[in-house]
Structure 1
Amino acid sequence: MTTTENPATEDPASSAGWYDAESTLQLRVPFARGPQPAPGYTFDEISRAEWVLGRMPDAGWSAEPGQRRTRVSRALLVCLLLAQAVLSLRLHNSAFEDEALYVYAGHAMIDHLFHGAPDYGGFASYFSGSPVLYPVLAAWVDSAAGLTGVRLMSLAFMLGSTALLYSFTRKLFNERTALLAAGAFSVTQSTLFLGNFATYDAMAIFLLALTAWILVRVAPGHWALPLAAAPVAALTVGVKYAAALYLPTLAVLLVLVAHERLGGREALRRGAVFTTGVGILLGLGVLTTDYLQAIRSTTTERAHGTAPLGQLLWDCARWGGLLFALACLGTVLYARRAGLGEVPGGPGAAPSRRWRLALGAVLSGTALLAPAYQIHLQTSISLHKHIGYGLLFAAPMAGVALTRLMGAHFRFPQAVIAVGVLALTFGMSQSAQNYGVWPDTGRLIPELAKNVRPGQKWLGQPHEAPVYYLSNRGLTDYTLWTSIFYIDYTGREGRHLSGPEGYRAAIEDGWFDGVVLDWSDQPGEVQALIRDELRRSGRYRLATALIYRTSVGSGHFEIWLPLPAARTR
């Protein structure tokens, strides 16, 4: 649009969005709605027109990422990973009983596998993962860097999971969605908690993410390439048996990605190849090991608990509800419209609505698997950890929702900022609370070190942490400790006693060289029985009481020692 007015006499117009180009005045706004002045209008007539900024074009983004866009997105990913690392490392506590047990078991397995020591722990019969995989790796790291090094290994696994999530989400959608998905996953309480927790879970989540990354990348390629992911998927199940729950999601994800590029027949072919490969490897693993009983007792036939349904639903909602709600929103929005706003596609480039709905439903629905299984079992044990497995798969659809909320060209960043602040607040507070549930044994271990001697028999709760810390000093080992959960005691008459009778007889006979009790606000029946028997027998005295506080209450450790000349056996 031009006007015949002399631009030199219209200085205010120049500051109002006009510029001088070859003695004409031209509007800077590329698209406008409202009255459109025709050629020949005077400047005053044009300035009185009502101009409204229209929809910004998609020219700022191209379908294929450039080098600058790739560098910027990777730099932002590094910032996310650094923030995740800091938030995980801020958590502090002594070894949890599972951490101590797994690391100690790894040392025992190393002695058994490489030095001919007897396999006295029987870990393969009740561990929820193979004792020769994660525990051995954790023990090797522990030998070099202690528990801190093992926890740092978990942090590396969780950072790797976030990076792989970014990568395969970028492959499915684009950089912005990938960054938002990685950001949402990186601040969940399970991610932050597991980033500083030495158990199977961080390694298993990393292997799941690695499997998904491989499958998404090789799906359009040769039909045999999915076999490359089969060993990783089988290893994931070996590390944590419950990870088998997510194998169907991986197979369906492969089929969907291949279907979008190659069609239904080729997609099913690749899915069958992957499923067959994983099935063969898992079958060989079951046939060549004695882990079947552990798989049944810890996973497929696990004993039911008594946790109320309302409490389980509330825990699921507060630990994963926000990301799951975002994933559901992303599924709905993605099914309604294929374009993500900031990355334009050509005609016919968008996948079908049915495909989009299937992808969103599979990824989002995976977040429900662990909660549904634990609700079925009526147990909240490790729910705060297990919920993170499904959130890994739901995160891409959460990224889609956040992308849509933000709009093209960061039009509504305040919506994403508000959601991000809420997610960060939940993740930080919940991870800190869950990390402070168990009592710190920092004061207990030095007291025990003064009294425990090699070869002595002890009764303890907790006993895993003392065994881990004191075995490093050569003072004790796993076989010398009895827990409050099981006892097999041979009485004076040669009878094998278990349960309450076993504890009573062993204490009455002065069998133990010391007893450790964790006396919390709500002591269990066995702890109360042991304490009463220690007092009644007259063979033990309370030597030390150490007060502690946790995120859910308070309590104290009690150390009971035999009276002089009290032992008879």
Structure 2
Amino acid sequence: MDPYATYFSGYPYFYPVIGGLLDRLGGVELARAFSLLCMMGVTSCVYTVTQKLFSRNAAIFAAALYVSLGSVLFVGRLATYDALCMLLLGIATVLAYQVSLKRNPWLAIWIGPLLILAVAAKYAALLFSLPVLGILILFSLQKQGWWPMVLRVVIVIVTSALVGVLAYYFMDKAVLQGLSLTTTNRVAIIQRSPWQLLVRVLQLGGIAYALGIAGIYLLFREKRYRWLALLLFGSSLLVPAYHIYKQEYVSLDKHMAFSLFYAMPLMGFALSRLSGYTRQRLSIGRHWLAGLAIVLLVFTIGTQQAETIYAGWANTTDLSYELHTQLRAGSGRYLSEDIEVARYYAEDVSDSWQWNGVNFFYYTDPQKKQFSGNDAFTRAIDDSYFDVVELSFNYQPYQSHFIAQQMAASKNYNLVARVKFQNSFGIGYYYLWRKATPGQGNFTSLSQVKQ
């Protein structure tokens, strides 16, 4: 079994259990539907928060803008933990506003557990939890005063600590390694320059950020919610700042949905003012078409962006067909660069233990000597350990080239299939090898897999 806890960016016994159950009941489409429902819940949170702060009209615009963003549409289609994490953060944010308005502080006991669950779903929620606490502190201070604010914050801290200690006692301690590798001490997988990342941030949220700045200007002019406006807008910059600092491109498209969630009240307020919707009751002002036009513009751009991002993954139908001609359940070992999709769609003709990815591989040779990393691949290929190998030179190109080079040098494998695919980056191929008579394989040069 894969050591999921050591590299998974969320607790492997939380969302994966939910996703696995949904997959068993209705396949991956049911898991996608669950993400869609979660994102609908997040949109409801956007509406609720904006309505509490400003007005129903501003809330309508905020919700309409949020569901039109490309990153939001993208996350709503993924069968991943992101949507569940966002829903938990969204509910915690609503409670932070709600408890700040009420005299009774005990509703705050639910904020801590929700934040812990959000972190369990996706470790990056550690960063996104900071705005929730900031909102609670600032809004409680404005509405209740110093001591009620302190009481609410203490309740959240104590409940978070209790739930955190309890979770630590029962959890698999290997998750600490996963937390470090994927979040707190992450090494960039796909590096981009700060300028490239800034351009990508503006592509995904440029219009939204412009509206957020307009919202800050209007609130400062009206002399209300000034510090809260700065907190919300500053919170929306946490994700871009983190990715630019780490120079990490991976997951930026998803994380922008988290980031812009916090600034949506500002954007909805600005758009309602621009459109002439200044009262709680719906009324059409002379500029109402401007607001509608901006929403439609964001939706048009957002759908195109979501389609492009989603097309970053190639259609694997043909790969699945070719794999089904080579695999046998309970017999053989398989190495795959695209292991997640290959293993998932080959569940009917293989078992999980038969699969290995190109990362975290360990090998014990017939003499019981243990190897890891590239040494493990070299020795395993020399021993013809893998019956079938699949590489695309796409997601792990350097590791894949090393493996292919070792297969060519050993002459232990036949190149049996080349499956064409196309994604938003261009055209490529999935290559399949099968174990041959040692030293007599037809794969002898990397030129045979030249893209």
Aligned partners of 1:527 and 1:251: how far apart in 2?
44
Aligned partners of 1:180 and 1:304: how far apart in 2?
36
Structure 1 counterpart of 2:135, which letter?
L
Structure 2 counterpart of 1:398, which letter?
M
Match of 2:201 in 1: 316
Q: CA deviation at 1:304?
A: 4.1
Contact 1:511 1:567 in 2 (8 A): no
Aligned partners of 1:137 and 1:259: how far apart in 2?
38
Aligned partners of 2:337 and 2:440: how far apart in 1?
21
Aligned partners of 2:144 and 2:26: how far apart in 1?
49
Structure 1 counterpart of 2:338, which letter?
P
Match of 2:43 in 1: 162
Q: Structure 1 residues 269 and 567, CA, compared in 2 at 3 Å: closer, same or farther? A: farther
**More deviation, 275-284/228-237:** 275-284
Match of 1:402 in 2: 271
Match of 1:511 in 2: 385
**More deviation, 422-431/250-259:** 250-259
Matched, 1:258 2:140: yes
Contact 1:158 1:205 in 2 (8 A): yes
Q: 1:272 aligns with which of 136, 150, 154?
A: 154
Contact 2:384 2:438 in 1 (8 A): no
Q: TM-score when scaled to structure 2?
A: 0.90
Q: CA deviation at 1:147?
A: 0.3
Aligned partners of 1:129 and 1:529: how far apart in 2?
30
Q: 2:337 aligns with which of 461, 485, 490?
A: 461
**More deviation, 149-158/217-226:** 217-226
Aligned partners of 1:273 and 1:248: how far apart in 2?
16
Match of 1:153 in 2: 34
Contact 2:327 2:349 in 1 (8 A): no
Q: CA deviation at 1:127?
A: 1.3
Q: CA deviation at 1:245?
A: 1.2
Match of 2:311 in 1: 436
Aligned partners of 1:497 and 1:527: how far apart in 2?
18
Tell me which of the two structures has the higher relative contact order, counting C-alpha pairs closer than 8 angstroms and 6 or more residues apart.
Answer: 2
Aligned partners of 1:567 and 1:542: how far apart in 2?
12
Aligned partners of 2:105 and 2:360: how far apart in 1?
52
**More deviation, 416-425/182-191:** 416-425
Aligned partners of 1:523 and 1:160: how far apart in 2?
35
Structure 1 counterpart of 2:285, which letter?
F
Contact 1:456 1:476 in 2 (8 A): no
**More deviation, 436-445/294-303:** 294-303
Q: CA deviation at 1:284?
A: 3.0
Aligned partners of 2:440 and 2:100: how far apart in 1?
69
Match of 1:538 in 2: 411
What's the secondary structure of 1:443's corresponding residue?
Answer: helix
Q: CA deviation at 1:474?
A: 5.0
Aligned partners of 1:143 and 1:380: how far apart in 2?
32
Q: 1:174 aligns with which of 55, 70, 74?
A: 55
Match of 1:450 in 2: 325
What's the secondary structure of 1:212's corresponding residue?
Answer: helix
Once the two structures are superposed, residues 213-257 of structure 1 have per-residue CA deviations (whole angstroms, 9 ceiling, x without a partner) of: 122223222022211322222211111111121222112212333
Once the two structures are superposed, residues 475-504 of structure 1 have per-residue CA deviations (whole angstroms, 9 ceiling, x without a partner) of: 221x32222233322346554333333323
Contact 2:328 2:349 in 1 (8 A): no
Once the two structures are superposed, residues 521-552 of structure 1 have per-residue CA deviations (whole angstroms, 9 ceiling, x without a partner) of: x9823222322333343322111111111011
Contact 1:286 1:292 in 2 (8 A): no
Q: 1:239 aligns with which of 107, 110, 121?
A: 121
Larger radius of gyration: 1
What's the secondary structure of 2:325's corresponding residue?
Answer: helix
Aligned partners of 2:127 and 2:40: how far apart in 1?
23
Matched, 1:330 2:230: no
Match of 2:431 in 1: 558
Structure 2 counterpart of 1:423, which letter?
V
Match of 2:101 in 1: 220
Q: CA deviation at 1:390?
A: 1.5
Match of 1:421 in 2: 296
Structure 2 counterpart of 1:563, which letter?
A
Structure 1 counterpart of 2:299, which letter?
L
Contact 1:332 1:357 in 2 (8 A): no
Contact 1:334 1:400 in 2 (8 A): no
Match of 2:362 in 1: 488
Q: CA deviation at 1:356?
A: 1.1
Structure 2 counterpart of 1:165, which letter?
V
Aligned partners of 2:41 and 2:154: how far apart in 1?
28
Contact 1:219 1:254 in 2 (8 A): yes
Match of 2:177 in 1: 293
Aligned partners of 1:531 and 1:317: how far apart in 2?
39
Match of 1:51 in 2: none
Structure 2 counterpart of 1:275, which letter?
I
Aligned partners of 1:531 and 1:301: how far apart in 2?
30
- The gaps in structure 1 that reach 5 residues or longer are 1-119, 338-352
Q: Structure 1 residues 256 and 523, CA, compared in 2 at 3 Å: closer, same or farther? A: closer
Aligned partners of 1:523 and 1:553: how far apart in 2?
17
Contact 2:318 2:419 in 1 (8 A): yes
What's the secondary structure of 2:124's corresponding residue?
Answer: helix
Aligned partners of 2:251 and 2:292: how far apart in 1?
30
Q: CA deviation at 1:510?
A: 1.3
What's the secondary structure of 2:317's corresponding residue?
Answer: coil
CA RMSD of aligned residues (A): 2.1
Matched, 1:302 2:186: yes
Aligned partners of 1:170 and 1:379: how far apart in 2?
35
Match of 1:526 in 2: 399
Aligned partners of 1:234 and 1:498: how far apart in 2?
35
Once the two structures are superposed, residues 298-337 of structure 1 have per-residue CA deviations (whole angstroms, 9 ceiling, x without a partner) of: 2112224542111111111111222122112101111211
Aligned partners of 1:237 and 1:538: how far apart in 2?
47
What's the secondary structure of 1:484's corresponding residue?
Answer: coil
- The gaps in structure 2 that reach 5 residues or longer are 279-283, 442-451
**More deviation, 505-514/389-398:** 505-514
Q: Structure 1 residues 450 and 474, CA, compared in 2 at 3 Å: closer, same or farther? A: closer
Match of 1:500 in 2: 374
Q: CA deviation at 1:567?
A: 10
Percent identity (aligned): 30
Aligned partners of 1:273 and 1:430: how far apart in 2?
41
Q: CA deviation at 1:424?
A: 1.3
Matched, 1:363 2:237: no
Aligned partners of 1:121 and 1:314: how far apart in 2?
37
Once the two structures are superposed, residues 170-215 of structure 1 have per-residue CA deviations (whole angstroms, 9 ceiling, x without a partner) of: 1111100001111111111111001110111000011111111122
What's the secondary structure of 1:453's corresponding residue?
Answer: coil
What's the secondary structure of 1:154's corresponding residue?
Answer: helix
Aligned partners of 1:475 and 1:524: how far apart in 2?
25
What's the secondary structure of 1:219's corresponding residue?
Answer: helix
Structure 2 counterpart of 1:294, which letter?
G
Aligned partners of 1:542 and 1:154: how far apart in 2?
39
Q: CA deviation at 1:156?
A: 0.4
Aligned residues: 430
Q: CA deviation at 1:399?
A: 0.5
